[in-house]
Structure 1
């Protein structure tokens, strides 16, 4: 039985992390937040991330093992034969299996050298697919993505490759002792579709105290003194970026000084131009800025009149938390777990992706707030986040880990 106060050695398997240049998603940022907090609380987290090289390094006090996801030659040959014979592609499947295998190999090697108390994987990328069933450590999975639902919300047709990838991710989750997620929304979906029990454990949120370095150069050069509503994050259909013009056009008609600012990378390209076309005569009031590092992003968030995040689905969204951290008024959607952070009319506003007028009305309510009311909403948003500070959430997560460890020990 592990002592309730002793430190834990925790391994995290992930397809993405902030040390890798092409990754900036929610999973990468979540792990980049949680692992330093665990380290500060006396624990020993180590991250195993898919990379283009094999090496170990230290990042913010945390050991990170970069693992090269090498596709076996036999798998490459089989994939080429299938593509030529039946014109089917299995890129996701091949990459997922090879990545999961390489992560498991490196993890087990490290575990033999310095045993872990517990290992955590993600559903995204099927990171636990090759974790041995006869292992001598507990394995938990955090639900970060749930591919079938995300694909449906993205409006992407199901292919054979997609269905196999979804099967692999489900198989990976089924190997775990237990799974958990940060939001009730995703937990409910997984319970219904996969018939699996899901714990809910909130992620840690650091309350900003004003001493973070900020760089206002991008804000000054590209936005300046403009009056604007902000969307930031991945510019894609899942995040509702394709709805922005429909939501904002009536408001741009009403206020000739109002602009719409988008910050983030398009996935796929074309969504920004689609919004411009739908804005018609107001297209010149859409400003698109690419992905920004946080020191440049926070001034853009802070100076906005409001932040519009019309996601079709989300999982306790980082973008909402980041906006609330700086006291911004957020307009979110009821379908996407924003209602687990926002109380409509108290610390933000809610609408529905099934009713564009409801989102337009919610933005209008935010724009009509007086400076005093805006400040009150911002203060309420910051107070909401107090429930998720590391002093609360890290002990809760570690208690969860210890419970899983104890259950497995009692069975063995």
Structure 2
């Protein structure tokens, strides 16, 4: 008789947030005394699964937890499957931001695989209500359990003494791609002028032509590790997140846990995290004037800034902690295994 879950994670290493999700979940499960391990697969297994050896489940495992992007040919046949949907890439609104090749890859390769996985899995989870709704509309309508991603609130915490700076310092952490809305950062910063500055994680070869980049923008490159991310958040006054579509928006939640007011796009999953005007500020997609006005309001109204900062931290502590996430997954594992 099975007494507790023992979870195996065959996972493609993508260098994205899904890697971090898996690593954190496995670490947290182990802290709870459960056995959990990752078998990392190469990136080419995503688009050429026949080019890698099919991973074999360890003898101790009694459940398999996968990302819906893992190709069905690499999924074990002798273990119950729980599959998590992390993304909303099939959102029709994103089509204009994809090239022809990427759009067809998502439509004819990833979507078809996700449908097979969702139908095969014993349990399907989504990281937000938005992801669940989009999956039902664009993939297949199967029962789904929403389990929000969780933030390590011990690691991501407010600094001991936060004082706003002059110039007021905005921070952007994320990929430098159109889906993230990065094209609007330069016009926002040009409108804000010298009283504001932006530190952002851009690619090393990002053009620095004055027509493309404002002088009050500073490329800090890729941040390696959670400590570096936390430090950058402690050294900022507010977090700007103009993303056009997010499955969850973990980095925004981490910024909130650090007491950073977040200025973000009103859309996709973001309103599930941020209540506009209470624990952050939401703006219309690509609306440069709204983003700039939100930054000015935070910079020039210290009472409002303080209220948002405190409420942001409280919002994460009450709804989006890693403990809450792990507890929900353990409950799902036990349900699949019929453990009372």
Q: TM-score, normalised by structure 2?
A: 0.85
CA 117–374 in structure 1, closer or farther in 2 if over 3 Å, else same: same
Matched residue, 2:331: 399
Matched residue, 2:219: 288
* 3-state SS of paired residue (1:106): coil
* Match 1:188 to one of 104, 114, 133: 133
Please tell me whether Structure 1 or Structure 2 has the larger radius of gyration of its CA atoms. 1
* 3-state SS of paired residue (1:10): strand
* 3-state SS of paired residue (2:78): coil
**For the residues of structure 2 that align with 1:47 and 1:165, how far apart are their CA atoms?**
24
Pair 1:137 & 2:75 matched: no
Matched residue, 1:174: 119
Structure 1 residue 329 displacement after superposition:
0.5
Pair 1:41 & 2:32 matched: yes
CA contact (8 A) 1:227 1:257 kept: yes
Matched residue, 1:27: 18
Structure that is richer in helix per residue:
1
**For the residues of structure 1 that align with 2:170 and 2:146, how far apart are their CA atoms?**
32
* Match 2:196 to one of 258, 273, 296: 258
Q: Higher relative contact order at CA 8 Å, sep ≥6: structure 1 or structure 2?
A: 2
Structure 1 residue 187 displacement after superposition:
0.9
Between 283-292 and 358-367, the greater mean CA deviation after superposition: 358-367
Matched residue, 2:162: none
CA contact (8 A) 2:240 2:262 kept: yes
* Match 2:50 to one of 82, 98, 101: 98
**For the residues of structure 1 that align with 2:307 and 2:82, how far apart are their CA atoms?**
40
* 3-state SS of paired residue (2:211): helix
Structure 1 residues not aligned, in runs of 5+? 18-22, 53-68, 71-91, 214-223, 408-412
**For the residues of structure 1 that align with 2:264 and 2:156, how far apart are their CA atoms?**
25
RMSD: 3.0
CA contact (8 A) 1:205 1:390 kept: yes
Structure 1 residue 179 displacement after superposition:
1.4
Deviations 1:295-352 (A, max 9, x none): 3332322222211001111122121022112100001112131111111111110012
**For the residues of structure 1 that align with 2:261 and 2:184, how far apart are their CA atoms?**
19
CA contact (8 A) 2:90 2:138 kept: no
CA contact (8 A) 2:88 2:247 kept: no
* 3-state SS of paired residue (2:64): strand
CA 15–146 in structure 1, closer or farther in 2 if over 3 Å, else same: farther
**For the residues of structure 2 that align with 1:237 and 1:191, how far apart are their CA atoms?**
25
Tell me the matched-pair count.
Answer: 328
